[in-house]
Amino acid sequence: MPGVKASAPSTTAKLQPHWRVNVGDYVVAAEIASTGQYCAIGTGRGELVAADTQSGRELFRQAAHPQGVLGVAVSPSGACIATCGQDPHARLWSASGQLLRELPSDAAWVEQVAWSPSGALIAVGAGRTAKVFDASGALIAQSSALPSTVTGVAWRSDSSAVAVSCYGGVHIVPVSAQGKARQLEWKGSLISVAWSPDDKVIVCGTQDCSIHFWRLATGKDSEMSGYPSKVKALAWDRESSILATAGHASLTLWSFRGKGPERTKPLQLEFHQGVCTQLTFGPRSCVLASGAQDSSVAVWLPQQGAVPMRIGYMEAEVTALHFHPTERELLAGDAQGNLVMWEI
């Protein structure tokens, strides 16, 4: 465990664990199904594990990817789980752990999987190509050969297109023949991507310690610099009014209300002592959760101030965060295989 813990005002309430379990290895990713009935976890040794959200009881464990899982995504209905890892196939699993099908790639491993909001399609990023499949495994669309490895994928809210980040910009891949491909150019390396829920803005974290975003209606792009390290953690609130970012211990929140964040001062949220690596907004409100390399977890209400409303600690670096659909609980995973369901 890190030697220095983050501190907060003595009045800040502590997160209380509903349950704790250890899945046996590094938690790479973890998501709670929209039904709230189970959570899916990917581990560093290549297993897909499902656990009951009420008790933490293990529901199944499958060898998913021989050399390690890199991503997990639960379908919007909760009926299917997609995984990817250090082999050439993404895989689709039933909620009971049955392998349904494999989705092939042209690369040595697959780094990105993301379900469309409709739940009918899945985007797969592997090597220098992004592909879109339907749930039956049929190839629906794919990008042209990209200038570098895919670093992120993000869906438009109506499931009509997927944004793909890489070196040199963002490629927007339509899923129908009638759609128009589009490229948002930038001269550097983009390492993360997020599409605003209202579909108006695409934002990326960059290798050169900044965020870069485009307003799609006009094509206008802007850059926010000054981060002490590269920005990988990005999260939009459900109203597309707040963008949360992290490239260091503090969180930086940009307001997209009105004319947007240009020439405005962002809100800084400070609590963590280590670099913040995980950010997620609740699905129903503006509640925000963050996790850091120093093992700390914080829950915030940004509109009510810059002090966390709840804090807690894992046993190692926080590697996964996901809100329960009710927002009454928060799932957290760490680098030592610990999984905790925190009561908020």
User: Does residue 121 lie in a domain region?
Assistant: yes
Digit-coded pLDDT (tens) for 152-180: 999 999 999 999 999 999 999 999 888 88
Q: Is the pLDDT of residue 80 over 90?
A: yes
323, 32 Cβ separation under 8 angstroms: yes
Q: pLDDT-based confidence at 9, cuts 50/70/90?
A: low
In which band, very low, low, confident or very high, does the pLDDT at 3 lie, cut at 50, 70 and 90? very low
CATH number for the domain harbouring residue 165: 2.130.10.10
| Counted domains in the chain | 1
Q: In terms of C-beta density within 10 A (0-12 exposed, 13-18 middle, 19 or more buried), how is residue 344 classed?
A: buried
The count of other CB atoms within 10 Å of the CB of residue 312 is 23
Q: Look at residue 273 in the predicted model and tell me its pLDDT.
A: 96
In a domain, 3, yes or no: no
* Sole residue written with tokens 């680098």: 335
Task: Return the minimum-mean-pLDDT range out of 92-96, 247-251, 257-261.
Answer: 257-261
Task: Give pLDDT, residue 71.
Answer: 98
In this predicted model, what pLDDT tens digit does every residue of 313-338 receive, in sequence order? Answer: 999 999 999 999 999 999 999 999 99
Is residue 76 assigned to a domain?
yes
Is residue 116 over pLDDT 80? yes
Task: Give me the pLDDT at residue 264, please.
Answer: 82
Residues whose CB falls within 8 Å of the CB of residue 10, separated by 6 or more in sequence, listed in order: none
What span, in angstroms and rounded, lies between the C-alpha atoms of 302 and 250? 13
Average pLDDT, the chain: 94
Please state the pTM of the whole predicted model: 0.94
247 falls in which pLDDT band (50, 70, 90)?
confident
Which pair of tokens denotes residue 126?
Answer: 């592997």
297 in a structural domain? yes
Q: What is the pLDDT of residues 35-46, one digit of tens each?
A: 999 999 999 999
In this prediction, residues 185-201 reach a mean pLDDT of 94
Residue 6 domain flag: no
**Confidence at 7, pLDDT banded by 50, 70, 90:** low
Q: For residue 198, is pLDDT > 80?
A: yes
Tell me what pLDDT residue 10 has.
Answer: 60
In a domain, 1, yes or no: no
**Containing domain of residue 138, as a range?**
13-343
In a domain, 8, yes or no: no
Q: pLDDT band for position 4 (50/70/90)? A: very low
| Residues whose CB falls within 8 Å of the CB of residue 64, separated by 6 or more in sequence, listed in order | 42, 46, 47, 48, 83, 85, 91, 93
**CA 70, 75, 79, 80 torsion: positive or negative?**
negative
* 10-14, 64-68, 120-124, 324-328, range with the lowest pLDDT: 10-14
pLDDT higher for 225 or 59? Answer: 59
pLDDT of residue 139: 97
The torsion defined by the Cα of 249, 250, 255 and 256, in degrees rounded to 10, comes to 0
Distance CA 46, CA 62 (A): 9
DSSP-based three-state secondary structure for 336: coil
Question: Over the stretch 269-322, which tens digit does the pLDDT of each residue have?
Answer: 999 999 999 999 999 989 999 999 999 999 999 988 889 999 999 999 999 999
Burial 316-341 (b: 16+ CB within 10 A, else e): bbbbbbbbbbebebbbbbbbbbbbbb
